[in-house]
Chain A
Amino acid sequence: AQTVTQSQPEMSVQEAETVTLSCTYDTSESDYYLFWYKQPPSRQMILVIRQEAYKQQNATENRFSVNFQKAAKSFSLKISDSQLGDAAMYFCASGARSGTYKYIFGTGTRLKVLA
Chain B
Amino acid sequence: GAGVSQSPRYKVAKRGQDVALRCDPISGHVSLFWYQQALGQGPEFLTYFQNEAQLDKSGLPSDRFFAERPEGSVSTLKIQRTQQEDSAVYLCASPGGQSSYNEQFFGPGTRLTVL
Contact = CB atoms under 8 A, between A and B. Distances in A.
Contacts, number: 57
A44 B42 contact: no
Interface string B89-115: 001010100001101111111000000
Interface residues of A, number: 25
Contact of A105 (B43, B48, B105): B43
A44 B106 contact: yes
B42 A107 contact: yes
A107 to B, nearest CB: 5
A97 B101 contact: yes
A101 to B, nearest CB: 4
Interface of B: 31, 33, 35, 40-45, 48, 55-56, 58-59, 91, 93, 95, 100-101, 103-109
Contacts of B108: 43-44
Interface of A: 4, 33, 35, 37, 43-47, 50, 91, 93, 95-98, 100-108
**Is chain A's binding surface mostly helix, strand, loop or mixed?**
strand
B45 A103 contact: yes
B95 A101 contact: yes
Contact of A103 (B55, B56, B58, B104): B104
B45 A104 contact: yes
